[in-house]
Amino acid sequence: MGRRIVAAIGGNALGATLPEQRRAAEETARVLAGLIQGGDQVVLVHGSGPQIGLISAAMTGLSRTDPDHPMAPLSVCTAMAQGYIGYDLQNALGEELLRRGLNRPVVTLLTQVEVDPADPAFDHPDKPVGTFLTEAEAKEMARRGNPVMEDAGRGWRRAVASPRPKRVVELESIRTLLDHGTVVVAGGGGGIPVAAQGNALKGVGAVVDKDFTAALLARELDAQVLLILTGVAGVSVHYGKPNQRQLTHMTVPVAREYLARGEFAAGSMGPKVAAGAEFAQSGPGRRCVITDLSHAADALRGQAGTTIG
């Protein structure tokens, strides 16, 4: 019996254009298909910060030129991003599995995530979305009333609230699909953020961090491994400094100590380490592995990347 793995890949790793996204989806599929071929069950969660930002900008531009088209809320933009990113990932995974002689169903599930409207995150927007901006563009965006932030030394981006996920609404559907041998793409963009109002679920103006959603899914699905795929080979301390050093392993207390010291940027590695520590602490035998696509197989064997657990 193989492992149950929840894998999370960042939106930036999926490229900035549709052709780049298709190529990234194919590369992701090759890595995950290797795990599935080895007997592992896989749920794939993806980020979509850049894509949500592009969709929001496009919809805002449309609403400004045509008053008959109202502004699209962030929750709707997340749903759109789930669809078009999932489309590429689902097809790439299905094709790669067939190439390996595995006739395995792959499904992209539109996924909602319940958040608390009173979450303090709404008062402190710190989730970067959209394309990178120059400092002048960022200042103009801030002047128009939109929060901006500097994103880990890479440039400026729009900042939105990022509340913690409380519940994956479609959890039982994901579990059923997984139990019946389906490869599931779920929780795209961290999930569509919603709040309960009676029997209804209403969209919320926020973007949920996909790493925390992946950690929540991994806990609820009783996964053994949370695999966070990012743009670097592993987690480093003193990042970008002459004494930068990659960590091969962190216990949960050590990870929390580094987080408390502000060692990892809030908009990039910080949520990954925090989510990984939460998952590793949630049950015996659970571990989080953080690495890039090219080192994923080795990292799962403990020969690359950073393991928390």
- Residue 253 pLDDT more than 90? yes
Give the global pTM.
Answer: 0.88
The per-residue pLDDT for 116 is: 94
Q: Which of 11, 187, 188, 234 is catalytic?
A: 11
Confidence of residue 240 (pLDDT cuts 50, 70, 90): confident
The per-residue pLDDT for 239 is: 84
284-294 pLDDT, tens digit per residue, is 999 999 999 99
210 is catalytic: yes
The per-residue pLDDT for 68 is: 76
Query: What is the average pLDDT across 161-175?
Result: 95
Average pLDDT, the chain: 89
The per-residue pLDDT for 291 is: 95
> Which structure tokens are listed for 141?
């965006």
Place of tokens 């669809």: 83
Measured CA to CA, the distance from residue 223 to residue 69 in angstroms comes to 43
Compute the Cα dihedral for 185, 188, 190, 192 and give only its sign.
Answer: negative
Taken in order of first residue, the domains within the chain and their CATH numbers are 4-113+164-232+288-301 (3.40.1160.10), 125-160 (no CATH)
12 is catalytic: yes
Query: What is the average pLDDT across 96-101?
Result: 97
- Residue 75 pLDDT more than 90? no
The fraction of the chain above a pLDDT of 70, given in percent, is 97
Among 188-192, 213-217, 267-271, 305-309, which is the least confidently predicted range? 267-271
Name the DSSP class of 232: S
> Which structure tokens are listed for 179?
């139990």
Confidence of residue 77 (pLDDT cuts 50, 70, 90): confident
272 is catalytic: yes
- Residue 141 pLDDT more than 80? no
The answer to whether residues 88 and 48 touch, using CB atoms and an 8 Å cutoff, is no
Residue 76 contacts by C-beta under 8 Å, 6 or more apart in sequence?
59, 203
The per-residue pLDDT for 137 is: 73
Measured CA to CA, the distance from residue 160 to residue 149 in angstroms comes to 9
Query: What is the average pLDDT across 51-76?
Result: 76
Q: Which of 272, 276, 305, 309 is catalytic?
A: 272
The answer to whether residues 276 and 288 touch, using CB atoms and an 8 Å cutoff, is yes
The fraction of the chain above a pLDDT of 90, given in percent, is 63
171-224 pLDDT, tens digit per residue, is 999 999 999 999 999 999 999 999 999 999 999 988 899 999 999 999 999 999
The per-residue pLDDT for 130 is: 66
Query: What is the average pLDDT across 139-149?
Result: 73
Confidence of residue 146 (pLDDT cuts 50, 70, 90): confident
202 is catalytic: no
Confidence of residue 145 (pLDDT cuts 50, 70, 90): low
Confidence of residue 53 (pLDDT cuts 50, 70, 90): confident
The per-residue pLDDT for 152 is: 65
Query: What is the average pLDDT across 167-174?
Result: 98
Measured CA to CA, the distance from residue 1 to residue 103 in angstroms comes to 18
127 is catalytic: yes
Q: Which of 191, 210, 234, 305 is catalytic?
A: 210
